């Protein structure tokens, strides 16, 4: 008696060793790249133990601690609830039903299922954490950090949802299309394609995504602009312009950043920083960003991210070869758009699990940029003044809890940065 052939299995059993081998190979390549590219020791011989009371008054520390105590429940709650919602949608058939139902008005084809599914699943995830997001925004207002009305806040949340859903749908459309074309080897092509999309996305981000949230204008002609361009020239970093973001429409916090690479690279300072910090402190902040530009940190981060994404795709293919999990999610494999909720769960869990490692790498790159700003300006006083101003205005966490530090800290704490400056001076 013959049985009907099993319906399109996601990954033939014989291919599992190949996927496993590639996952392990890519993981090793990533580990090797991290070992070689990341500046693990930024200032040899330095004692970087932070000491908040050296630079901040007990009142300042108390205010910052109260702020973080108020904010922490919603930060952790958002992470936990996001994971629970993703797990419910990804590990039961409810997510698959959402995908099918969302696509029905659009004809129900696989592309509609991916796009409408991603959008509705994202909306459900966002709605679940809205009360916590409102709580966070209220705390930011209580402490004078937010300048938004609820209307502009809601507009930001909506834009964020649409941008996230758009980018996620683009990646998943590509991966599902590859799985439908190449049922046996899709994961290899999808790894390559996802890595390519990470690189293209990072390049296009400042041109396509950042303008959705902020307006940018070139820094006005004048002494400050001349100083900053002269600083860049002295540093040997080609910079045509420094852009100013209208961050004050959202926040009172002070910041600057560099994004993009090659032709899309830009150095951006917040208008809040220009309005409140003296020129020598703005110069220090820009010198830090020049450090990122000179070391090509955005490109480095992008390439590491691309390698990480390729590894993630292989790992997901491996997990999806486990039939009981697929049955539980009500999907047949990567070629079946009903798999989207399960894939989103794996991405959410994977991102959370790797956040501590990603943040360790980011903090090393940030410390190197700090050191660059000290080497370039040789102005420890302005460095320390700018760090104290940033900490006071942004209510920076001066002694972060180890868990918060591991999960959220992309930068060394302000007290670590001040310790770095003192040690830089001592070791001169
Ligand atoms: Zn930085």
**Could you tell me if residue 237 is inside a domain?**
no
**Could you tell me the distance, in angstroms and rounded to a whole number, from the CA of residue 257 to the centre of ligand 1?**
6
Q: Where are the alpha helices (DSSP H) in 6-57?
A: 16-37, 52-55
Q: How far apart are the first and last CA of the chain?
A: 84
Residue 321 is predicted with a pLDDT of 92
- Is 78 in contact with 84 (CB distance < 8 Å)? no
- Is 338 in contact with 110 (CB distance < 8 Å)? no
Instruction: Name the pLDDT band for 141 (thresholds 50, 70, 90).
Output: very high
**Could you tell me the distance, in angstroms and rounded to a whole number, from the CA of residue 293 to the centre of ligand 1?**
10
Structural domain for 403, as ranges: 47-217+282-426
Q: Cα(346)–Cα(423) distance, rounded to whole angstroms?
A: 42
Handedness of CA 48, 50, 54, 60 (dihedral sign): positive
**Could you tell me if residue 240 is inside a domain?**
no
**Could you tell me the distance, in angstroms and rounded to a whole number, from the CA of residue 292 to the centre of ligand 1?**
7
**Could you tell me if residue 231 is inside a domain?**
no
Q: Cα(356)–Cα(359) distance, rounded to whole angstroms?
A: 5
Residue 279 is predicted with a pLDDT of 94
Q: Cα(281)–Cα(379) distance, rounded to whole angstroms?
A: 10
Q: Cα(285)–Cα(382) distance, rounded to whole angstroms?
A: 10
**Could you tell me the distance, in angstroms and rounded to a whole number, from the CA of residue 369 to the centre of ligand 1?**
6
**Could you tell me if residue 380 is inside a domain?**
yes
Taking the model in full, what pTM does it have? 0.91
Provide the domain count of the chain.
Answer: 1
Q: How far is CA 355 from the centre of its chain?
A: 9
Report DSSP state, residue 216: E
- Res. 50: pLDDT tops 90: no
**Could you tell me the distance, in angstroms and rounded to a whole number, from the CA of residue 136 to the centre of ligand 1?**
24
Question: Coil, strand or helix: which one is 218?
Answer: strand
**Could you tell me the distance, in angstroms and rounded to a whole number, from the CA of residue 62 to the centre of ligand 1?**
26
- Res. 8: pLDDT tops 80: no
**Could you tell me the distance, in angstroms and rounded to a whole number, from the CA of residue 368 to the centre of ligand 1?**
9
- Res. 7: pLDDT tops 80: no
Report DSSP state, residue 251: B
**Could you tell me the distance, in angstroms and rounded to a whole number, from the CA of residue 336 to the centre of ligand 1?**
41
- Res. 32: pLDDT tops 80: yes
**Could you tell me the distance, in angstroms and rounded to a whole number, from the CA of residue 412 to the centre of ligand 1?**
10
Phi/psi at 242 (5° precision): -110, 130
pLDDT tens per residue, range 54-82: 999 999 999 999 999 999 999 999 999 99
**Could you tell me if residue 19 is inside a domain?**
no
Q: What beta strand segments (E) does 297-365 contain?
A: none
C-alpha separations of 300 from 255, 262, 276 in Å: 22, 12, 32
Task: Taking each helix axis as running N to C, give the angle between helix 297-320 and helix 340-377, from 0 to 180 degrees, rounded to the nearest 10.
Answer: 160
**Could you tell me the distance, in angstroms and rounded to a whole number, from the CA of residue 374 to the centre of ligand 1?**
13
- What is the Cα Rg of the chain in Å? 24
**Could you tell me if residue 96 is inside a domain?**
yes
**Could you tell me the distance, in angstroms and rounded to a whole number, from the CA of residue 366 to the centre of ligand 1?**
5
**Could you tell me the distance, in angstroms and rounded to a whole number, from the CA of residue 373 to the centre of ligand 1?**
10
**Could you tell me the distance, in angstroms and rounded to a whole number, from the CA of residue 266 to the centre of ligand 1?**
13
Mean pLDDT of the chain: 93
**Could you tell me the distance, in angstroms and rounded to a whole number, from the CA of residue 54 to the centre of ligand 1?**
24
- What is the token pair recorded at 90? 């990804």
**Could you tell me if residue 235 is inside a domain?**
no
**Could you tell me if residue 86 is inside a domain?**
yes
Phi-psi category of residue 136: left, alpha or beta, with phi > 0 → left and psi -120 to 50 → alpha: alpha
- What is the token pair recorded at 55? 């630079």
């Amino acid at each position: 008696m013959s049985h009907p052939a099993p319906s399109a299995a996601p990954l033939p059993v014989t291919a599992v060793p190949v996927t496993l081998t590639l996952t392990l190979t890519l993981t090793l390549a990533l580990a090797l790249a991290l070992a070689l590219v990341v500046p693990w020791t930024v200032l040899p011989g330095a004692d970087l133990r932070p000491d908040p009371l050296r630079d901040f008054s007990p009142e300042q520390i108390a205010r910052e601690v109260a702020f973080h105590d108020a904010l922490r429940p919603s930060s952790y709650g958002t992470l936990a609830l996001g994971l629970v919602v993703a797990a419910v949608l990804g590990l039961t058939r409810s997510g698959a039903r959402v995908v099918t139902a969302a696509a029905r008005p659009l004809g129900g084809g696989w592309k509609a299922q991916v796009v409408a599914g991603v959008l509705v699943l994202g909306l459900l995830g966002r709605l679940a954490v809205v009360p916590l997001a409102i709580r966070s925004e209220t705390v930011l207002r209580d402490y004078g950090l937010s300048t938004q009305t609820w209307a502009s806040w809601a507009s930001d949340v909506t834009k964020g949802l649409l941008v996230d859903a758009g980018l996620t749908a683009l990646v998943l459309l590509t991966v599902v299309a590859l799985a439908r074309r190449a049922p046996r080897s899709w994961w290899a092509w999808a790894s390559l394609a996802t890595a390519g999309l990470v690189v293209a996305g990072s390049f296009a981000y400042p041109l396509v995504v950042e303008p959705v949230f902020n307006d940018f204008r070139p820094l006005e002609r004048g002494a400050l602009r001349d100083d900053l361009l002269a600083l860049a020239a002295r540093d040997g970093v080609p910079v045509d312009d420094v852009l100013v973001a209208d961050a004050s429409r959202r926040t009172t916090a002070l910041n600057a950043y560099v994004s993009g690479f090659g032709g899309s690279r830009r150095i951006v300072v917040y208008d809040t920083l220009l309005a409140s910090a003296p020129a020598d402190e703005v110069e220090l902040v820009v010198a830090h960003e020049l450090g990122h530009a000179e070391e090509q940190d955005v490109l480095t981060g992008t390439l590491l991210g691309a390698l990480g994404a390729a590894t993630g795709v292989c790992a997901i293919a491996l997990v999806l070869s486990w039939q009981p999990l697929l049955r539980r999610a009500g999907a047949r494999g990567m070629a079946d758009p009903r798999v989207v909720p399960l894939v989103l769960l794996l991405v959410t869990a994977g991102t959370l699990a790797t956040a501590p490692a990603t943040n360790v790498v980011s903090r090393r790159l940030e410390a190197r940029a700090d050191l660059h700003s000290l080497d370039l300006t040789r102005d420890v006083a302005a460095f320390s003044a700018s760090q104290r101003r940033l900490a006071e205005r942004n209510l920076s966490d001066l002694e972060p809890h180890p868990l918060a530090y591991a999960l959220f800290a992309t930068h060394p704490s302000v007290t670590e940065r001040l310790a770095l400056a003192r040690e830089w001076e001592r070791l001169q």
